[in-house]
Amino acid sequence: MEGHHHHISANVDAGDRFPQWSVQETRDFLMIRAELHPTFMETKRNKLLWEVIATKMKDKGYNRSAEQCKCKWKNLVTRYKGCETMEPEGRQQFPYYNEMQAIFAARMQRMLWMEAEGGGASGSKKKGVALSSDDEDDNEESDREKGGGGTQKKRKVALKSASRGNINSLKDVLEEFMKQQMQMEMEWIKAYEAREEERRMKEMEWRQAMEALENERVMMDRRWREREEQKRMREEARAEKRDALLTALLNKLRKENHM
């Protein structure tokens, strides 16, 4: 037990060496760690993830290495676990309790969802894993060097098996979702093509109706012109006959005068 406390204090010193972490820096760190928390749950090789966190911290203006971030996280987890057994008034001494509680609550919710999807251990066992697996994730390299215990190895194998089962279940859900999406898309395409065909047919009928109306208008115009032409020709014929009669009458009158 004493060796365990000694190991924790060494990590605390390594993570909290000068320059010390300010309150704002720690809150920014927890915000970044919360964003990547689902990824930490999905992988055991998280060394690269701590490098990502260190890079994000640098983007915010903090110069922290991946090892410092990792040690700071273990220190915060240790303090959070210590507050779990305290009264609510005592938890106020840990200023980051609410942020840590939100992270672990999200972890618990995700693990319960995974359990509901693929079936798994009981709720009490899940709670134990939710509070302890972070240390297992972060201490992967040190556990490998120490050899680890048989129980811990079995736990890791069980977690990996459950993870594979959950991944397969998630794949099945995604495949079914994709099938439904493709089916909906095909139905939408068919409906769109049917509407487009109906639109084309209506447009064709409209054009044919317009052409028929135009042809009828042209025929009516032609018949009107023909009637007008016939009327004009009749009037001209009447005028010629009238002129001929008048000419004949004048000629007759002239002959009678000469006699």
Conformation bin of residue 61: beta by default, left when phi > 0, alpha when psi is -120 to 50: left
Q: The tokens 């018949």 sit on which residue? A: 223
Strands (E), the chain: none
Note the pLDDT of residue 98.
85
Q: What secondary structure letter does DSSP report for 61? A: T
Q: Which two tokens stand for residue 9?
A: 């204090």
Distance CA 50, CA 88 (A): 31
Q: Which residues of the chain have pLDDT under 50?
A: 1-16, 120-133, 135-149
Distance CA 201, CA 190 (A): 16
Distance CA 14, CA 71 (A): 7
Burial readout 51-71 (b: 16 or more C-beta within 10 A, e: otherwise):
ebbbebbeeeebebebebbbb
> Within the chain, what is the greatest distance between any pair of CA atoms?
170
| CA distances for 100 relative to 85, 103, 107, 119, 151, angstroms | 15, 5, 11, 27, 27
Note the pLDDT of residue 228.
93
Note the pLDDT of residue 81.
86
- What's this model's pTM, rounded to 2 decimal places? 0.43
- Alpha-carbon torsion (153, 157, 162, 164), positive or negative: positive
Q: The tokens 């000629």 sit on which residue? A: 251
Kindly report, residue by residue over 145-170, the tens digit of the pLDDT. 444 445 555 555 555 555 555 566 77
Kindly report, residue by residue over 115-140, the tens digit of the pLDDT. 766 654 444 444 444 444 454 444 44
* Closest by Cα among 123, 76, 122 to 101: 76
Note the pLDDT of residue 211.
93
| CA distances for 93 relative to 11, 29, 33, 87, 89, angstroms | 21, 19, 22, 11, 8
Q: Which two tokens stand for residue 204?
A: 């064709």
Kindly report, residue by residue over 93-115, the tens digit of the pLDDT. 788 888 888 888 887 777 777 77
Note the pLDDT of residue 71.
93
Q: Which two tokens stand for residue 126?
A: 């899940």
Residue type, 162: A
